[in-house]
Amino acid sequence: MALTSQDIARVANLARLELRPEETEHTLGQLNGFFALVEQMDAVNTEGVEPLAHPAAVLGQIALRLREDIVTEPNQREESQKSAPAVERGLFLVPRVIE
C-alpha cells in the first residue's frame, strides 16, 4: 500500500505542517520507502498479545503514581514568558481567533 500526495497533504495538515510542493514529492518517496520496511510487521502473529506501553510492565503491573492534587509550583510567570514570541500584560499574544 503506497501513500499518495493527497495522503501527505492530509497528514501535514493534521500535524500543522506546511510542506513546499517539492518537499511533498520528496517526503512521499521517503515515506513510501519507510512503509515498505514497516510492512514486515504483518508477518508477526500478534493475536491475543497485549500492547506494551510502559516497558517495565513486562515484569507485571506497573502503577503510574499520582501525586496529591495540590498547588506546589511557585508563580514564575515572568521567567516562563521570557522565551515567548509575543507577550502583553502577562498574556500570550496570538492572532485573532474569533472574528
* Site of interaction with other proteins (CB under 8 A): 3, 7-8, 11-12, 14-19, 27, 30-31, 33-34, 37-41, 44, 46, 49-56, 58-59, 64-67, 72, 76, 79-86, 92, 94-97
5 within 8 A of 25, measured Cβ to Cβ: yes
Indicate the residue among 46 and 61 with the shorter CB distance to other proteins: 46
Using alpha carbons, list the distances in angstroms from residue 31 to 11, 26, 99: 12, 9, 38
* Least CB distance to other proteins at residue 25 (A): 13
* Least CB distance to other proteins at residue 16 (A): 4
Q: Is 8 exposed, middle or buried (0-12, 13-18, 19+ CB in 10 A)?
A: buried
Return the DSSP state at 64: P
Handedness of CA 27, 31, 33, 34 (dihedral sign): positive
Indicate the residue among 25 and 84 with the shorter CB distance to other proteins: 84
* Least CB distance to other proteins at residue 23 (A): 8
